[in-house]
Amino acid sequence: MKRLNLGCGNDYREGWVNHDYLPHVKADVYFDLNKYPYPLKAGQFDGVYASHVIEHLDRPIRALEEIHRVLKPGGILVMKSPHFSRGFTDPTHKSGFSVHFFEYFNPNSKWMPVPYSTKRWRVVSAKVRMRGENPHGTLSLFWRLLDAAANASPHFFDAFWCYWFGGAAELVFEAEKAEGD
């Protein structure tokens, strides 16, 4: 199984192709994710992991099209990004995301009247995390309960809860490459 770790930063993964842009970070390949096409062969990866990288890019939909291109049919993308309610606390973030992000690739979406891409993704899961990776310790149960409440209806969370009670730290998507141009 061949997997790509995009924007690996300090998360170098043995057995993966690790990518970064920064020359002082340990990686296997270096290139700018804002320049297309990526210097990677089409259909070569079974999986792509992109943790807190897509929100830094100029054109996130174009980046997802490139990820789609380098994945094999049925390949899986795991993407973590800040929820829009907290996504702009970092001055290097250019985009914020909601649980509806992959609807921009869906021609039958009830949320988007026209898809923004011909590439197709099948969302396996979209989860809200109130504090990113679940913390350990005395507050762990509290945060797991908040995560469960937010994920009972992520659409309700996006539309109402995050405005009334505060936002989420991150979204975690798992999406499968589906047929598309």
Q: Is the pLDDT of residue 32 over 70?
A: yes
User: In which band, very low, low, confident or very high, does the pLDDT at 105 lie, cut at 50, 70 and 90?
Assistant: confident
Closest CA to 17 of 1, 30, 29, 9: 29
Instruction: Report d(CA 14, CA 28) in Å as an integer.
Output: 10
Residue 105 CA to residue 51 CA, distance in Å, equals: 20
**150 φ, ψ (degrees, to nearest 5):** -65, -35
Q: How far is CA 172 from CA 6, 82, 99, in A?
A: 15, 9, 9
Rounded to an integer, the average pLDDT of 145-151 is 87
Q: What is the pLDDT of residue 87?
A: 62
Q: Are 121 and 176 in contact (CB under 8 A)?
A: yes
pLDDT level of residue 48 (50, 70, 90 thresholds): very high
3-state DSSP assignment of residue 151: helix
Overall pTM surpassing 0.85 (yes/no): yes
Domain boundaries, the chain: 3-178
Under DSSP, is residue 140 helix (H, G, I), strand (E, B) or coil?
Answer: helix
Question: Rounded to whole angstroms, how far apart are CA atoms 167 and 170?
Answer: 9
Taking the domain 3-178, which CATH number applies? Answer: 3.40.50.150
Given a contact cutoff of 8 angstroms between Cβ atoms, the answer to whether 67 and 180 are in contact is no
> In the structure encoding, which two tokens stand for residue 4, read together?
């790509």
Task: Note the pLDDT tens digit of each residue in 50-103.
Answer: 999 999 999 999 999 999 999 999 999 999 999 888 767 788 888 888 888 888
Query: Using CA atoms, how far apart are residues 180 and 131, in angstroms rounded to an integer?
Result: 34
CA distance linking residue 172 with residue 52, whole number of Å: 10
- Report the distance separating Cα 172 and Cα 54, nearest Å: 12
pLDDT of residue 84: 86
